[in-house]
Structure 1
Amino acid sequence: MDIAVFQKKKQRMTLFMVIVIGLTLLSARMTDFDFLHSVLTLPKAFSWMASNLVVTEQALTKMPSILDKLIETIFLSITATTTASVLALLLALMGSHTTKINSFFGSLSRIIASVYRNIPIVAWALILLLSFGQSALTGYFALFLATFGFLTRAFIETIDETSSSSVEALRATGATYFQVVAKAVIPECSPQIISWVLFMIETNIRSSTLVGILTGTGIGFAFDLYYKSMNYHVVCLITISIVVVVIGIELLSNYVRRVIL
């Protein structure tokens, strides 16, 4: 019996690999992608990067302006995430099976979360760019809307995992809806909620670089400006600065998670 099960699993895995390889080759043919040419051009690409993406003394003179843009990007990401998390929590309370007011608002909340979550942040930036133009407000709303959709869904699942015994106990004593939320749901879910908020701050700092290229704000605008002027030494400095900031924020958020979880 064990041999038959093993052979069946092996056949399924073989079929899966054949399908994946077939789809890969078909996609490469449809897009005129040449695997061999790509591999042969790798040494030349790395050679160009080694000779051009180098931080020079002249590039370091741009560091003060780069730091200003980095600080703007960080605060924009934090602001968008924190404000979106407040509204996402309110909507999640209505959408969760544990705390929903009624079925209509519960379904409506989940639909709103699904729609906002499945629209990419780049699409939000392009849509808002037509309305607000290139400004920090456009970048803020793009990060806000994408974050709002993601966190609403994450908060709904977090609240759904809340122990129903504490909720039922408070309801049995005659506690109101807001008392149940404040005394049972929020205290139990707060560590996971804070963890999700920290995760989105990290994500938005990375995403805001791309959003900044489209909206003309923050570190993304500086990257785009120097890249288009072919000042690759400053581009390298900006890239390193972004990596250092993202790693620093990630280490800080990981420390906070270890403390609260």
Structure 2
Amino acid sequence: MNEKKMRQNKLQITIIFIVILLITYLSAAITNFNFLDSVLTIPEAIGWMVSNLMITSETLDRMPSIMDKLLETVFMSIAATTFAAVISLFLALLGSQTTKVNNFFSVLARFIASFSRNIPVVAWSLILLISFGQNSMTGFLALFVGTLGFLTRAFIESIDEANQSSVEALTATGATYFHIVNKAVIPQSLPQMLSWILFMVETNIRSATLVGILTGTGIGAMFDLYYKSMNYQVVALITITIVVTVILIELLSNQIRRVIL
């Protein structure tokens, strides 16, 4: 019986592997992608990067202005994440099976989370760009809406995973809804929620660069400016600065997670 099951699993894996290969081949054929040509262009691409992306002393003179824009991007990402976290907590309490007020608000909260989460941040940037124009408010709102959906969903799952015994004990004593939330639900879910907030801060700092290109704000706008003017040395410096910043924030977030979890 076990041998028969193993043969079936092996056959299924083989079929899945063949299907993946066929899909890959069809995708390459439709898009006129040639893997061999791509590999052969790698040495030429590396040579171009070495000759054009070298950081010079003149390039480093622009570091103060780069840092100003980078800090603007970081603070905008933190502000959007923090504000979205507050609203997400309210929606999660309404949407969770543990703390829902009624089915209508539960469905509504989950719908809002699903709608905002399933539209990419880039798409939100383009949609909001039409209404608000190229400014920091557009970038903030794009990050806020995308974060709202993700955190609401994450917070709902965190609340649903909380131990029900303390909730049932407080309910049995006649505690009010807000007392149950404050004493039983939030204390259990808070560490996981903080972890999700830190994760979204990291994600939003990465996304804010692309959002800035579209909305003309922050480090993304500066990247776009120097890229279009073909000043690739400054582009390289901006890219390295962004990468180093993201890595440092990720290390800090991981350290905080180890403390709170």
TM-score range, shorter chain: over 0.9
Say how many residue pairs are matched: 261
Q: How does 1:145-156 map to 2 (within 5 A)?
A: 145-156=145-156
Q: Secondary structure at the match of 1:55?
A: coil
Task: Give the letter for the 2:93 counterpart.
Answer: L
* Aligned residue in 2 for 1:4: 4
Amino acid at match of 1:128: L
2:211 — aligned with what? 211
Mapped partners of 1:260, 1:239: distance in 2: 32
Tell me the equivalent position of 2:253: 253
1:65 aligns with 2:65: yes
Corresponding residue for 2:37?
37
* Structure 2 residue matching 1:134: 3-state secondary structure: coil
Measured on the aligned residues, the alpha-carbon RMSD in Å equals: 0.7
Separation in 2 of the partners of 1:10 and 1:44? 42
Give unmatched runs, 5+ long, in structure 1. Answer: none
Q: Which amino acid aligns with 2:97?
A: H
Q: Which amino acid aligns with 1:144?
A: F
Does residue 83 of the first structure (1) align with residue 65 of the second (2)? no
Matching residue of 2:201: 201
- Counterparts of 1:125 and 1:59, CA distance in 2: 30
For residues 107 and 131 of structure 2, the distance between their equivalents in structure 1, rounded to whole angstroms, comes to 30
1:112 maps to 2:109: no
Q: Any gaps of 5 or more consecutive residues in structure 2?
A: none
How far off is 1:54 after superposition?
1.4
TM-score in terms of structure 2 length: 0.99
User: In 1, distance between residues paired with 2:31 and 2:244?
Assistant: 36
Partner Cα distance (1:40, 1:89) in 2: 51
Give the superposition deviation at 1:63.
0.2
Task: Map Cα deviations across residues 78-107 of structure 1 (whole Å, 9 max, x no partner).
Answer: 000000000000000000000000111111
Letter in 2 for 1:174: G
Q: CA offsets, 1:92-125, max 9 Å, x none? A: 0000000000111111111111111000000000
Letter in 1 for 2:117: R
Deviation at 1:218, TM superposition (A): 0.3
Q: Which residue of 2 aligns with 1:175?
A: 175
Question: Residue 23 of structure 1 corresponds to which residue in structure 2?
Answer: 23
- CA distance, structure 1, for counterparts of residue 158 and residue 260 of structure 2: 16
Structure 2 distance, partners of 1:54, 1:73, is 25
State the identity as a percent.
64
Structure 1 outlier segments of 4+, above 6 Å:
none
The offset of 1:9, in angstroms, is: 1.0
The residue type equivalent to 1:17 in the other structure is F
Q: Partner of 1:129 in structure 2?
A: 129
